[in-house]
Chains A and B, each alone.
Chain A
Amino acid sequence: MAKIIRRAPETAFVPQPDDDLIICRCEEVTKGDIRRVVHAGLSTTNEVKRWLRCGMGLCQGQTCQRNFQGIIARELGVSPADIGRITGRSPVRPATITTFAHEVTEQKEA
């Protein structure tokens, strides 16, 4: 469970040479994007996800979550456990709306 961290980083945002590095491959969110929003006041993995869409692409954060959670935690000087992780909720894999419209309700033979 995420602790409530009510402080932005004490130091101002300082650009880093690798700010252009892609972290979320699906939504093309960079390290700089993530660091900037943390300095702007976001402090949990879920908040950053909702603001920047990192972890909301086709892979649903399976590649990037661990990395962007780490970047937020480092920026805030806290442990990754303190800022929570992306909430796992159904559907855990991408699916078309058509699929959900095709619900089989009768008992199928195995």
Chain B
Amino acid sequence: MRIKQHPIIDDYGKGAQISFTLDGKPMVGYEGDSIAAALHAAGIMTHRYTAKRHTPRGVFCCIGRCTDCVMIVNGQPNVRTCITPLEEGMEVQTQYGVVNREQWEADHQ
């Protein structure tokens, strides 16, 4: 959920609404959002499933250190979504291990 009114911060410096996709589904965010912020605002918590235990992970440190929030962005895996600015038309995919869901399922049949 986005903060509508804040007692101290007047302006988060957000620009126009922009569109992107998550696993093919249309999503919206704003210029100035990180990918993670736009997802969090939309209630998306799971960014990836781990390689060994296949457990969900999401935002943890949010400053680009822990790398738990990595996703596949425009085909590139391991992109730290918390520090990567959202851009119009971005294709964001939930990361399974280091691949997307289709690849993961094909590899694990």
Using a CB–CB distance below 8 Å, which chain A residues touch chain B?
A: 22, 25-26, 28, 57-59, 62-63, 94
CB pair B65–A59 under 8 Å, yes or no, is yes
Cα–Cα distance between A48 and B77 once the two chains are bound (Å): 28
Question: Contacts of B57 on A, CB cut-off 8 Å?
Answer: 25
Using a CB–CB distance below 8 Å, which chain B residues touch chain A?
A: 50-53, 57, 60-61, 65-68, 70, 78
Question: Contacts of A22 on B, CB cut-off 8 Å?
Answer: 53
24 A-B contacts (beta carbon < 8 Å): A22-B53, A25-B57, A25-B60, A25-B66, A25-B68, A26-B67, A28-B50, A28-B51, A28-B52, A28-B53, A57-B67, A58-B67, A58-B70, A58-B78, A59-B65, A59-B66, A59-B67, A62-B65, A62-B66, A63-B60, A63-B61, A63-B65, A63-B66, A94-B67
Question: Contacts of A62 on B, CB cut-off 8 Å?
Answer: 65-66
Chain A residue at minimal CB-CB distance from B53: A28
Question: Contacts of B65 on A, CB cut-off 8 Å?
Answer: 59, 62-63
Chain B residue at minimal CB-CB distance from A58: B67
Cα–Cα distance between A62 and B61 once the two chains are bound (Å): 11
Chain B residue at minimal CB-CB distance from A20: B53
How would you classify the secondary structure of chain B's contact residues: helix, strand, loop or mixed?
loop
User: Smallest Cβ distance from A56 to chain B, in angstroms?
Assistant: 12
Question: Contacts of B67 on A, CB cut-off 8 Å?
Answer: 26, 57-59, 94
Cα–Cα distance between A28 and B52 once the two chains are bound (Å): 7
Cα–Cα distance between A62 and B68 once the two chains are bound (Å): 12
User: Smallest Cβ distance from A62 to chain B, in angstroms?
Assistant: 5
User: Smallest Cβ distance from A26 to chain B, in angstroms?
Assistant: 7
Chain A residue at minimal CB-CB distance from B70: A58
User: Smallest Cβ distance from B99 to chain A, in angstroms?
Assistant: 15
User: Smallest Cβ distance from B54 to chain A, in angstroms?
Assistant: 10
User: Smallest Cβ distance from B46 to chain A, in angstroms?
Assistant: 15
Instruction: Across the A-B interface, give the 5 residue pairs with the lowest CB-CB distance, nearest first.
Output: A58-B67, A28-B52, A59-B67, A59-B66, A62-B65
User: Smallest Cβ distance from A21 to chain B, in angstroms?
Assistant: 12
Question: Contacts of A26 on B, CB cut-off 8 Å?
Answer: 67
Question: Contacts of A57 on B, CB cut-off 8 Å?
Answer: 67
